[in-house]
Amino acid sequence: MSKEQVIGWSKHELAARVALDLEDGWFVNLGIGIPTLVADYIPEGREIILHSENGLLGLGPKPAPGEEDPDLVNAGKEPITLKPGGSFFSQADSFAMIRGGHLDATILGAFQVSQLGDLASWKLPNSPLGRVGGAMDLTAGSKRVFLCMQHTTKTGEAKIVEECTYPLTTPRCVDRIYTDLAVIDVTEEGLVLKELAPGVTFEYVQERTAAPLKNQLQTIGAIQ
């Protein structure tokens, strides 16, 4: 396996890194894909109440093999557990929570994100397939929007760009981008690189980013 394939955080390491920035008492929605892994890495002693748009609150880690409950699944139809006190309810109630501004953060993936924080997450260009789903409500209604994704496509194309060429989900909604290579903040002054994955350099990340980055490395800390 080449260095290109193994450099940076794995999907599970990336999910664990995102979980570090979730603050005690936050209500957080986890999108489909890598974001669902965050449920397995909530820091011990920290109460994070996880929300799923299909009508669940208080998600726990994935069940052990053989202990799955077919009636308990997340938005990606993956089996989940509920923590003590967790609940399930109608999707109408779920979206009332989302649209009412009750979520402290939403974590989701993306096809593209611009240097202004524009998000494209639901449809590839020239593809007849694609549904925006709840992403538009989640990104508009949450207090913070975190992206959790691979830095480039499978063919090496940049997913962080100056201007999105894919259909937008929501304009100027993204606060922070977590990829397998780095942690990047979206600010009024542009994209600011805050942290690098082990073995990754600023130059390596910039070469794979189709928008200028400002180097402002810091120690791990939560976004306020």
Over residues 56-90, the pLDDT tens digits come to 999 998 999 999 998 899 888 899 999 999 999 99
Q: Is the pLDDT of residue 222 over 70?
A: no
For 95-138, how does the pLDDT look when each residue is reduced to its tens digit (9 = 90+)?
999 999 999 999 999 999 999 999 999 877 777 666 777 899 99
Q: Is the pLDDT of residue 224 over 70?
A: no
For 31-48, how does the pLDDT look when each residue is reduced to its tens digit (9 = 90+)?
988 999 999 999 999 999
Burial of 25 (0-12, 13-18, 19+ CB in 10 A): exposed
> What one-letter code names the amino acid at 90?
S
pLDDT at 4: 47
pLDDT at 127: 72
pLDDT at 137: 95
Q: What share of the chain is helix, strand, coil (3-state, %, to 5)?
A: 20, 25, 55
Q: Is the pLDDT of residue 141 over 90?
A: yes
Q: How far is CA 194 from CA 110, 116, 165, 175, 214, in A?
A: 20, 17, 26, 13, 9
For 174-199, how does the pLDDT look when each residue is reduced to its tens digit (9 = 90+)?
999 999 999 999 999 999 999 999 99
pLDDT at 71: 87
Q: Tell me the domain boundaries of the chain.
A: 3-215
pLDDT at 123: 73
pLDDT at 87: 94
Least reliable range by pLDDT among 16-20, 26-30, 77-81, 101-105: 77-81
Q: Is the pLDDT of residue 220 over 50?
A: no
pLDDT at 166: 92
To which H or E segment does residue 106 belong? strand 105-108
Instruction: Tell me the two tokens of residue 23.
Output: 């603050």
Q: Which CATH architecture has domain 3-215?
A: 3-Layer(aba) Sandwich (3.40)
- The percent of residues in the chain predicted with pLDDT above 70, rounded, is 93
Residue 163 annotated in active site: no
pLDDT at 130: 66
Which is the catalytic residue, given 23, 47, 53, 207? 53
pLDDT at 176: 98
Q: How far is CA 70 from CA 55, 63, 80, 84, in A?
A: 15, 11, 9, 18
Identify whether the C-beta of residue 80 lies closer than 8 Å to the C-beta of residue 87: no
